[in-house]
Amino acid sequence: MTANLRKVLLIVLVFSCFTNIKARQLDDTTDIDQVNQTKVVFEDNLDSLLNSYYLQQSDVENDLAVDTVIENVEYSNIPDSVYAERLARIPSVIKMTYNPIVRKYIEMYLQRKKDRVQVMLGLSEYYFPIFDDIFDYYGLPNELKYMSIIESALNCRARSRTRAIGLWQFMYGTGKLYGLTINSLVDERRDPIKETHAAAKFSKDLFNVFGDWQLVIAAYNCGPGNVKKAIRRSGGKRDFWEIYRFLPRETRGHVPAFIAATYVMNYYKEHNLKAVKSDFPRVTDTIVIHDDLHLMQVSYVLGIPIEQLRDLNPQYIRDIIPAKGTSMAITIPADFTNKFIDYQDSIFAFKDSVFFNPKELNKNPNYEARYYGKAPKGYVKIRHVVKEGESLGAISAKYKCRVNDIMDWNGLYSSRIREGRILTIYVPQKLSKQYLSENTTAAKENAASGLITSDNTKAQGGQIVYYTVKQGDTLWEIAQRYPGISCNDILRWNGLSRGANIVPGQQLKIKVM
């Protein structure tokens, strides 16, 4: 072989290796970029469901890798053997694998998410019996109910940035594919019973494809196409932990988070956690109706709090049950069943010309404010500083608007709010002086608990305020207090680098919009 020929062959070999490496890198990038693309057929073309809602509500920006979510969790003094032995004792057909990644998630729930876990324990008393009954009907393992913890934190109104909605976080296309009604008045992705039926069918279809429940949980998150791709790239392995590194980064934490949630919901007493009592009644009843009905009609006549009716019937987006010419269901506390039947005619007749007046239904004085950032005619924008113990329900009652309006005006994905957060509210101009006076007083009272400014009214117009960091605060949670402000803004205003730690007592400069 001549020297020139050897040189040519060497060049070809080097070029070939370089091309293969670039192709692999391109394949990696394409794999991650395609995670949330809509699919056309079941195996490769179902739309991807929401990444863990619970993780999206953490202090991590831009959907960083799940290992970043748990990197700052400190280990407790509980031995690994205790966690492993307890997981092994849970009666489950789903493998409860234990390893350092699972431990990190367990510690995260028990340390940083302790308060939220206790709220979910209270909510589980209402939701889990529903899930158990439905999963039993489909012959599925009832421990799949713990998937709702990592999907939505048991919030039936949970909504992701990618528009996945409900306890089981269905995207629009997947919800329609599994028979859920989605229109301007009804969104059954928020119906605990119907959405759980859809989630059970979807899970059963995924199990028929993969035959492994850990792979089902991963596929529920990123779509079956991405799991099949990871299996191919791993050389045909069909164990979650063997294909772990080939999965999209945001999906890798889904199974360990599920195992951790299962552990915490079974062993919370061993960690001195207690359920926070929810507002859901212990026993409910479902009544089928055949005419249009407004939840306010039921609330006024029967005396059921409107917020409780909305929580029991979250699928009715505008409080209207459009049952005329068909059959639809309303859920009420069981104590009111006989009263509903006795007063049914009065309920349907109560102010029906008001609740079902076409002109009134088409009025939405807050619509422009929501989409154009300015107050509609006759309305002005004010700021409300959230007080200790206040809820969105109480705030909406004060300003005579809907909880959903406040969530839309402020870009909220959850109805949970923390003390000190500033909310944008649109109120009738004739009442604005009264509200502004109340809010100025409240803002000054609130200064002692974190919002420090010499004149908070001016600060709300674009001035600088200083926030005092409290125990347990994160940058993400602080940013959520101020509409239109991100974690990056706070970092930039305070000269902090990404990943910088904040400590209790530290004052952060905030430019209030």
Question: How confident is the model at residue 376, as a pLDDT?
Answer: 60
Alpha-helical regions (H) of 415-474: 432-446, 456-460
Report the distance separating Cα 441 and Cα 288, nearest Å: 48
Domain borders along the chain are 1-33, 42-266, 284-361, 367-511
**361 membership: H or E segment, kind and range:** helix 358-361
Cα angle: 226, vertex 16, 230; to 5 degrees: 10
Q: How far apart are the first and last CA of the chain?
A: 75
**Burial (CB count <10 Å: 0-12, 13-18, 19+), residue 389:** exposed
Residue written as token pair 């609330």: 299
In CATH, what number does 42-266 get?
1.10.530.10
Report the distance separating Cα 464 and Cα 487, nearest Å: 16
The residue among 124, 117, 150, 146 whose CA lies nearest residue 221 is: 150
Contact 462, 499 (CB under 8 A): no
Report the distance separating Cα 8 and Cα 489, nearest Å: 55
What secondary structure does DSSP assign to 390-446, as a single string? Answer: --HHHHHHHHT--HHHHHHHHT-SSS---TT-EEEEEEEGGGHHHHHHHHHHHHHHH
Q: Which amino acid is at 264?
A: V
Contact 420, 386 (CB under 8 A): yes
Q: What share of the chain is helix, strand, coil (3-state, %, to 5)?
A: 55, 10, 35
Question: How confident is the model at residue 386, as a pLDDT?
Answer: 82
Cα angle: 320, vertex 182, 327; to 5 degrees: 55
Helix (H, G, I), strand (E, B) or coil at 340: helix
Residue written as token pair 């010419």: 325
Contact 388, 442 (CB under 8 A): no
Residue 324 DSSP symbol: T
Contact 319, 368 (CB under 8 A): no
Residue written as token pair 């409860």: 96
Q: Which pTM was predicted?
A: 0.60
pLDDT in tens, 114-127: 888 999 999 999 99
Residue 383 DSSP symbol: E
Using left for φ > 0, alpha for ψ between -120 and 50, and beta otherwise, residue 450 falls in: left
Contact 296, 355 (CB under 8 A): yes
Q: For residue 294, give both structure tokens.
A: 């407004």
Across the 513 residues of the chain, what is the mean pLDDT of every consecutive 10-residue run?
49 42 36 30 28 34 36 71 95 95 93 90 94 96 94 89 88 94 94 96 96 95 92 94 91 93 95 89 92 92 90 93 93 93 89 73 46 58 79 81 78 73 78 61 46 38 70 74 75 76 78 68
Residue written as token pair 């990190």: 104
Q: For residue 363, give both structure tokens.
A: 């009025």
**Burial (CB count <10 Å: 0-12, 13-18, 19+), residue 172:** middle
**Burial (CB count <10 Å: 0-12, 13-18, 19+), residue 4:** exposed
